[in-house]
């Protein structure tokens, strides 16, 4: 019954029988987005420096190779490291079905050897089963630099392609603003909550770009169809045509977001609570937040901004004036007919 009602609701939105006024209430959505962005920015500033992973700060990494089914208690590894270096804050993650990875800050050579011996003893394995590697900060800096370059290239390329595809730079600009909205909120939540920023999280941030634009393109495609030269209605203003396009794609956006969130949520749950795999958790957490933000920004940010950018154009102002004039004339005619009918029944 609920499924049928949702389907009927979607059909009513598509035909215009029902309408949610997304565009007319844009100041409310702008205010909500502004508050979210300010909370993210000030929250991140108040929290201080970001919690960067060892890949960005440099440090020591140990990997203990256990047999499948052997106890992988992370508490034992943490105790071993803090016994050797009390000031350290080790990060322990499970790898695959049998390994444990321990990451710490930079240790001295003798401290590394002590940790290797202690880990071997704690997990009852030979010292040869504990491998050590040093990760320099240059690796993380190189990843960061490449991520920034990739981000700039992606944004420029996507902006040009969207401007050509939709034949207006204003749709491209609105999509890019929504994209930055998603990135700021996702990164802000990450920084405020103190989640560790790892290369996997960076991959998640970059993946958000694709999802955010995909959802925006679907909605914009319908808006372009409603507002193209041959499809402009004499009974709807430009903003109302944009609003109709958002309503027509609302159910599809919700369904797409849910379908995208379900596997990501499953990976997040499995990564965080079942496998304890840091890489899975980091990338799925960024995607989970980003998909939510992307679904919101497409409807409440991108479409209203595009409508606002176009409403000042002379041709659209002229069209809107004609629609409002025709609407006023029809309302006046309807009032006159009601008056005649009322007098006739006296």
pLDDT at res. 308: 93
- Residue 346 has a pLDDT of 62
Residue 305 is predicted with a pLDDT of 94
Query: What is residue 303's predicted lDDT score, i.e. its pLDDT?
Result: 92
Q: Where are the domain boundaries for CATH 3.30.70.260 in the chain?
A: 59-135
d(CA 179, CA 4): 34
Q: What's residue 344's pLDDT?
A: 67
For residues 168 and 183, what is the distance between their CA atoms, to the nearest angstrom?
24
* Residues of the chain below pLDDT 50: none
Q: Which DSSP category does 147 fall into?
A: H
Q: What pTM value is reported for the model?
A: 0.77
pLDDT at 204: 79
Phi and psi at residue 24, to the nearest 5°: -65, -25
Helix locations, the chain, DSSP H: 2-15, 26-47, 54-57, 74-84, 109-122, 137-166, 169-193, 199-227, 238-269, 278-297, 303-311, 314-344
Residue ranges of the chain that CATH labels 1.20.1640.10: 17-50+140-325
β-sheet with 91-95: strand ranges across = 91-95, 99-104, 59-65, 130-135
pLDDT of residue 203: 78
Q: What is the CATH number of domain 17-50+140-325?
A: 1.20.1640.10
Q: Which CATH superfamily is domain 59-135 in?
A: ACT domain (3.30.70.260)
């Amino acid at each position: 019954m609920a499924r049928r009602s949702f389907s009927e609701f979607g059909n009513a939105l598509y035909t215009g029988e029902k309408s949610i006024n997304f565009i007319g209430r844009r100041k409310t959505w702008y205010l909500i987005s502004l508050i979210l962005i300010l909370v993210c920015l000030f929250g991140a500033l108040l929290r201080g420096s970001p919690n960067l992973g060892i890949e960005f700060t440099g440090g020591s990494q140990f990997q203990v190779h256990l047999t499948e089914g052997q106890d992988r208690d992370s508490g034992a590894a943490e105790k071993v490291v803090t016994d050797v270096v009390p000031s350290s804050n080790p990060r322990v993650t499970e790898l695959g079905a049998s390994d444990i990875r321990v990451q710490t800050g930079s240790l001295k050579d003798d401290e590394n050897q002590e940790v290797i011996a202690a880990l071997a003893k704690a997990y009852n394995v030979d010292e040869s089963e504990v491998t050590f590697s040093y990760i320099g900060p240059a690796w993380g800096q190189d990843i960061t630099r490449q991520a920034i370059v990739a981000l700039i290239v992606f944004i420029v390329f996507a902006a040009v392609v969207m401007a050509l595809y939709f034949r207006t730079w204003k749709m491209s600009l609105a999509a890019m603003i929504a994209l930055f909205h998603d990135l700021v909120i996702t990164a802000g939540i990450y920084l405020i909550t103190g989640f560790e920023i790892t290369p996997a999280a960076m991959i998640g941030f970059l993946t958000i770009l694709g999802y955010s634009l995909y959802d925006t393109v679907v909605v914009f495609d319908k808006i372009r169809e409603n507002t193209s030269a041959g499809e402009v209605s004499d009974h709807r203003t430009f903003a109302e045509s944009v609003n109709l396009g958002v309503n027509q794609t609302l159910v599809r956006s919700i369904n797409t977001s849910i379908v995208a969130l379900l596997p990501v949520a499953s990976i997040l749950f499995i990564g965080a609570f079942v496998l304890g795999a840091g890489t899975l958790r980091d990338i799925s957490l960024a995607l989970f937040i980003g998909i939510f933000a992307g679904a919101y920004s497409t409807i409440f940010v991108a479409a209203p901004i595009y409508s606002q950018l176009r409403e000042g154009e002379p041709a659209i102002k002229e069209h809107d004036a004609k629609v409002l004039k025709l609407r006023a004339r029809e309302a006046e005619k309807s009032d006159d007919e009601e008056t005649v009918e009322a007098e006739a029944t006296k």
